């Protein structure tokens, strides 16, 4: 049985497109709790004590991390073992799931298609049964997109709800601790471990959710996906509504703030290592290097206004949207096709 065909709980060969480090386990649990017996694939943005942090870039590897990221410590204390450190798209600035140095892992659900990223290694490890939990980050879909591409459960937590101490940032205004699993029970168990206790208002919302959908907000998606989303939403009893949303303006503002922060975090290192990245990601950082502080401040005001608009429109209701604008692209898709799909998907992602 090959690595791709391995069933949950079975050992498989080491796949260097999925894992940077792997053990049996790599690190044992330090406590007992809701995650007893479960294993975690840790995205290579989280500090793991004794191992260098790589961020999907060979040249980025340095000395061993002196301590675990806070979230890694919490998972270990709750009874989870660390199965290994899983690859990410370079510096997490992509949603395709590929990596020029380490390769693109095979999507177990659709081998001819991309796995989705940037938490591609964590997602594939979970989909293949090599880990129960894929710990990742979600700045602009990096958990939700691979979950959708591979038929997994995925959650992007509310920004700021879980500490990112010990996590390499991309754009801290949008970075979140997030994860994916094969089943809902495990997803909820991780939530019990990592999320703060919920107040009565949230409990009421979860127990009796009210769904809404705006057909206009689904417009960035392919016609077939938008139609399927509308059908599913109506089946769930969602109420159709019209929200005031300027997706083009919101997207430009999001892209500007994200790029400005990405360059602030990594620009100095990239200047010292100008050939470290593959062209796709390097081009994004080249754009990021051109954003001025004035432009970033103006864009941030638009982002904050957009968030306020959405909060006022939702009023504790749940907005349903397609996760991606297209079906998982073929691995053979052209760069232009991938970039077009990425842009349309980000128009959907930024609404959540």
Give the model confidence (pLDDT) of 186-239 as tens digits: 999 999 999 987 653 444 445 678 999 999 999 999 999 999 999 999 999 999
What mean pLDDT is predicted for residues 23-44? 98
Q: Are residues 185 and 210 in the same domain?
A: no
Domain membership of residue 227 (yes or no) is yes
What integer pLDDT is reported at residue 316 of this predicted model?
84
Q: Are residues 118 and 262 in the same domain?
A: no
**Which of 129, 162, 196 lies at the terminal end of a domain, its last residue?**
196
What mean pLDDT is predicted for residues 125-151? 98
Q: What percent of the chain has pLDDT over 70?
A: 93
What mean pLDDT is predicted for residues 87-112? 98
Domain membership of residue 231 (yes or no) is yes
What mean pLDDT is predicted for residues 323-351? 93
Pick the catalytic residue from 17, 118, 122, 229. 118
Q: Are residues 182 and 230 in the same domain?
A: no
What integer pLDDT is reported at residue 3 of this predicted model?
36
Q: Do 166 and 72 contact (CB within 8 A), yes or no?
A: yes
Domain membership of residue 9 (yes or no) is no
Lowest mean pLDDT among 11-25, 47-61, 323-337: 11-25
Q: Is the pLDDT of residue 350 over 90?
A: no
Q: Is the pLDDT of residue 341 over 70?
A: yes
Domain membership of residue 3 (yes or no) is no
**Which of 152, 171, 196 lies at the terminal end of a domain, its last residue?**
196
Domain membership of residue 8 (yes or no) is no
What integer pLDDT is reported at residue 197 of this predicted model?
78
What mean pLDDT is predicted for residues 287-303? 99
What mean pLDDT is predicted for residues 4-27? 77
Q: What total number of domains does the chain contain?
A: 2
Q: Are residues 27 and 149 in the same domain?
A: yes
Q: Is the pLDDT of residue 10 over 60?
A: no
CATH number of the domain that residue 50 is part of: 3.90.1300.10
Q: How far apart are CA 221 and CA 333, in angstroms?
A: 18
Q: Which domain holds residue 226?
A: 202-349
Pick the catalytic residue from 12, 17, 43, 229. 43
Measured from the Cβ of residue 267, the count of other Cβ atoms closer than 10 Å reads 14
Is residue 142 annotated as a catalytic residue, yes or no? yes
Is residue 12 annotated as a catalytic residue, yes or no? no
Domain membership of residue 78 (yes or no) is yes
pLDDT tens digits, one per residue of 144-176: 999 999 999 999 999 999 999 999 999 999 999
**What are the residues whose beta carbons fall under 8 Å from the beta carbon of 205, sequence distance 6 or more?**
316, 318
Q: Are residues 158 and 211 in the same domain?
A: no
Q: Do 87 and 42 contact (CB within 8 A), yes or no?
A: no
Domain membership of residue 7 (yes or no) is no
Domain membership of residue 130 (yes or no) is yes
Q: Are residues 251 and 322 in the same domain?
A: yes
Is residue 191 annotated as a catalytic residue, yes or no? no
What mean pLDDT is predicted for residues 65-91? 99
Pick the catalytic residue from 142, 173, 178, 229. 142
Q: What percent of the chain has pLDDT over 90?
A: 88
Tokens (6 digits) for 230: 């509308």
- Running DSSP on this structure, what letter comes out for residue 128? T
Q: Are residues 183 and 250 in the same domain?
A: no
What integer pLDDT is reported at residue 1 of this predicted model?
25
Q: Are residues 23 and 122 in the same domain?
A: yes
Q: Is the pLDDT of residue 4 over 70?
A: no
Q: Are residues 190 and 254 in the same domain?
A: no
What integer pLDDT is reported at residue 8 of this predicted model?
44
Q: Are residues 97 and 27 in the same domain?
A: yes
Q: Are residues 164 and 76 in the same domain?
A: yes
pLDDT band, very low/low/confident/very high, at 2 (cuts 50, 70, 90): very low
Q: Is the pLDDT of residue 299 over 90?
A: yes
Q: Is the pLDDT of residue 29 over 70?
A: yes
Q: How far apart are CA 148 and CA 154, in angstroms?
A: 8
pTM across the whole model = 0.93
Contacts by residues 278-286 (CB-CB < 8 Å, ≥ 24 positions apart)? 278/90, 278/99, 278/100, 278/101, 280/94, 280/96, 280/335, 281/89, 281/90, 281/91, 281/93, 281/94, 284/93, 284/94, 284/259, 285/93
Q: Are residues 176 and 311 in the same domain?
A: no
**Which of 151, 170, 196 lies at the terminal end of a domain, its last residue?**
196
What integer pLDDT is reported at residue 206 of this predicted model?
54
Measured from the Cβ of residue 5, the count of other Cβ atoms closer than 10 Å reads 11
Q: Is the pLDDT of residue 240 over 90?
A: yes
Lowest mean pLDDT among 9-18, 240-249, 281-290: 9-18
């Amino acid at each position: 049985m090959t690595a791709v065909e391995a069933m949950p709980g079975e050992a498989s060969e080491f796949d260097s497109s999925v894992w940077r480090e792997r053990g049996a386990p790599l690190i044992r649990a330090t406590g007992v709790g809701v995650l007893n017996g479960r294993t975690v694939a840790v995205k290579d943005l989280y500090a793991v004590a004794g191992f260098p942090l790589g961020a999907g870039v060979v040249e980025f590897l340095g000395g061993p991390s002196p301590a675990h990221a806070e979230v890694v410590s919490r998972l270990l204390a709750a009874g989870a073992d660390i199965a290994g450190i899983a690859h990410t798209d370079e510096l997490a600035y992509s949603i395709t799931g590929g990596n020029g140095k380490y390769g693109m892992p095979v999507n177990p659900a659709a081998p001819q298609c991309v796995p989705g990223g940037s938490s591609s290694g964590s997602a594939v490890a979970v989909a293949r049964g090599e880990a129960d939990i894929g710990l990742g980050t979600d700045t602009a879909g990096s958990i939700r997109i691979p979950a959708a591409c591979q038929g997994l459960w995925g959650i992007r937590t509310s920004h700021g709800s879980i500490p990112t101490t010990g996590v390499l940032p991309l754009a801290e205004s949008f970075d979140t601790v997030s994860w994916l699993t094969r089943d809902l029970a495990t997803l909820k168990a991780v939530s019990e471990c990592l999320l703060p206790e919920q107040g009565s208002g949230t409990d009421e919302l979860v127990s009796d959710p009210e769904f809404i959908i705006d057909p206009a907000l689904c417009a960035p998606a392919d016609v077939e996906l938008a139609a399927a989303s509308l059908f599913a939403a109506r089946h769930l009893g969602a109420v159709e509504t019209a929200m005031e949303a300027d997706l083009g303006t919101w997207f430009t503002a999001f892209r500007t703030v994200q790029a400005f922060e990405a360059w602030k975090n990594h620009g100095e290192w990239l200047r010292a290592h100008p050939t470290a990245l593959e062209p796709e990601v390097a081009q994004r950082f080249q754009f990021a290097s051109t954003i001025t502080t004035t432009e970033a401040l103006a864009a941030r005001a638009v982002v904050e206004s957009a968030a306020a608009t959405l909060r006022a429109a939702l009023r504790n209701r749940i907005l349903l949207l397609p996760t991606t604008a297209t079906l998982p692209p073929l691995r053979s898709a052209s760069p232009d096709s991938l970039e077009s799909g990425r842009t349309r998907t980000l128009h959907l992602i930024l609404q959540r």
